[in-house]
Amino acid sequence: MAAAGPLSGVRLVELAGLGPAPFAGMLLADLGADVVRVDRPGEQPLRAGDPRFDLLSRGKRAIVIDLKHELGAEAVLALASRADVLLEGFRPGVAERLGVGPDACLARKPSLVYGRMTGWGQSGPLAATAGHDLDYLALTGVLHAIGPADGPPQIPLNLLGDFGGGALYLVVGVLAALHHASRTGEGQVVDAAIVDGVAHLSTLISGLLAAGIWRDARGTNVLDGGAPFYAVYETADGRHLAVAALEPRFYQQFVRLLGVPDGLPSQYDPVGWPRVRSVFAATIRGRTLQDWLAVFEGTDACVSPVLSLTEARQHPQLADRGTFVTVAGVPQPAAAPRFSATPAGDPVPPPVRSEPAAAVFADWDAELTPAIAESGAVPSATG
């Protein structure tokens, strides 16, 4: 399937799963890769509802292969032999038991990039244990650092673990391995673990902690809500204003436009932060969100409205950028990032149903032997 984008011509097999591995496949499809998702018989990737809204499947084709059938693995290996990348998000050892582990796949295609996505990694005492985004954040210390000083840790959706520390690191690994394979012809296994990625994302904080300028207590530091000039405040109409006036020149502009009395404690004096926060909160609560937006419009005070997911689609900045698009009637984020020479274009809607496997195999010049096609291992091979 031809597609625009910098990865046009790259072929990828995605063994169907949930969360970060499908997101990685979606991102690579957004950038032009030809992604074929391998579903199991009866599998519903969205689990509930209309498959048009399964946006992690956008840009992909889907076929059905029964990996529990004795010839199911052979069908996947036939696809892998014509692919550049294979992605799987099983627990360690599952792909090997199904006959589609890295050794079997690389034996068919030595230059293949075999991407593995797990929470705990392929090794270690927790490797075979179930877990979810929140567990991985908790174990890395990152969850402990998020939230107010006088409350429990706060859950940052599943964006930080599954998609930030997981899928994006898998994509980085895949692209780096593709670069290596293009130069050497040598494939390899990319072991992407959410705990590794989340820990890596906290590198800056680790440095600050080691330097003694970051407290290992949430809600007490400059970037975690402890500072009154990097915080969220409620307005008179129950909305919220995000204030991120970190640098002194921005802070001075913010304070001036806010109209608070002179004589506040020094910006970076933590002892004075409670008093400053009280003044800021009382002042901001005195006017509506729209009032404050009018005050700060066009300035460098680093103040923004806290928008809902629905409101964000209409914001002039994001509308001008085309950050959100509507595809087949479904609003969704556009592909990112942008490329000057190889633009990716709008996403392709998710597949509503599986394609006949024979057509996909033929398109990839992969061998779907009569024995496999007639065995029942590939239920969609004939229609």
Active site residues: 132, 162
Query: Which token pair is 137?
Result: 């954040």
Query: Look-up: residue for tokens 């877990």?
Result: 131
Quick one: which of 348, 252, 260 has its CA closest to 55? 348
- Residue 323 near residue 316 (C-beta atoms within 8 A): no
**Whether the Cβ atoms of residue 37 and residue 350 lie closer than 8 Å to each other:** no
Beta bridge partners of 232: 242
Q: How far is CA 292 from the centre of its chain?
A: 33
The two structure tokens encoding residue 248: 């002194």
Within 8 A by CB and 6+ apart from 217, the residues are 149
CA distance 37 to 12: 8
- Please tell me the distance from the alpha carbon of residue 148 to that of residue 192, in angstroms, as a whole number: 31
Size of the chain in residues:
383
**Helical H runs in 70-202?**
72-80, 94-97, 102-108, 133-140, 168-184, 194-201
Per-residue tokens: 369: 């032997």
Are 193 and 119 within 8 A, CB to CB? yes
Cα angle: 47, vertex 38, 113; to 5 degrees: 125
